[in-house]
Structure 1
């Protein structure tokens, strides 16, 4: 059973599109196999899980904060480097950009754990920027066993 996080909303993603008026596409795997989970869905789930964890640790500081996921930034006035997240303190909004975050490391040996750590780190850093705390101070006991 998939758990939806009401604080995370994907933006700028066209799912279930209808090509040439033929209606939505059917599942690639068919009815007998488990559905394919895309990288975007996996990214959304990791951001949601991490945001839920941080909201549980910092309920007062993160009350009303909305977490969004977008594929790429849409600003025309970008610096030379692509931002991995955007923090809007006034609007209480954190937007993570999937493609720049996923491409942080170029190592072909990345496995699922490495990818999860990369996404979690981006969420921690964005939340740290939002509430003016060091990302390592957000969950000091989380990695103490390492």
Structure 2
């Protein structure tokens, strides 16, 4: 006896518990929730803008990309947090290794933001051949 084939409705036609599609979590009148990726990219952008303002001649052609993970050959040990391509004035930051493999003494938003900022400083310093502390000597002097 042949079985009757089941017809499954498409994902678009299917409604959970009789409800149609879902709206944004925050509703129509509130801004959307920022993701970790959004916060990471905005911190990178703000840090890069700050450095370009301080070093306009050296960083006039600076390009920064954010990728989730590096493409590393199997024989390479460790995981890269960034890559610098001096010929194209390019810095590529890898978000997941920076976020997950960094050891913070206090795991809060401020310390995570400082970790991302320090990676931007170190990568840009490597690009232009300067120590990261030379890039913004007054940045961390609070006293």
Question: Normalising to structure 1: TM-score of the pair?
Answer: 0.77
Higher Rg of the two aligned structures: 2
1:21 Cα offset (Å): 8.1
- Deviation, 1:144, is 1.4
What is aligned with 2:123?
A: 126
In structure 1, which of residues 46, 50, 56 is the aligned counterpart of residue 43 of structure 2?
A: 46
2:76 corresponds to 1:75: no
Secondary structure of the residue aligned to 1:96 is strand
Give the alignment of 1:1-146 within 5 angstroms. 26-76=23-73, 79-106=76-103, 109-145=106-142
- Figure out how many residues of one structure are paired with residues of the other and give that number: 125
Runs of 4+ in 1 over 6 A off after TM superposition: none
Unaligned runs of 5+ in 1: 1-19
Structure 2 gap segments, 5+ residues each: 1-9, 13-21
More helix by share: 2
Tell me how far apart the structure 2 counterparts of residues 96 and 78 of structure 1 sit (CA, whole Å).
21
Distance 1:78 1:41 in 2: 32
**Does 1 or 2 have the higher relative contact order (CA < 8 Å, sep 6+)?**
1
1:49-79 CA-to-partner distances (Å, cap 9, x unmatched) read 0000000000111111101111111233562
Q: Distance in 2 between matches of 1:138 and 1:109?
A: 25
CA contact (8 A) 2:104 2:112 kept: no
Query: Cα RMSD between the aligned structures?
Result: 2.1
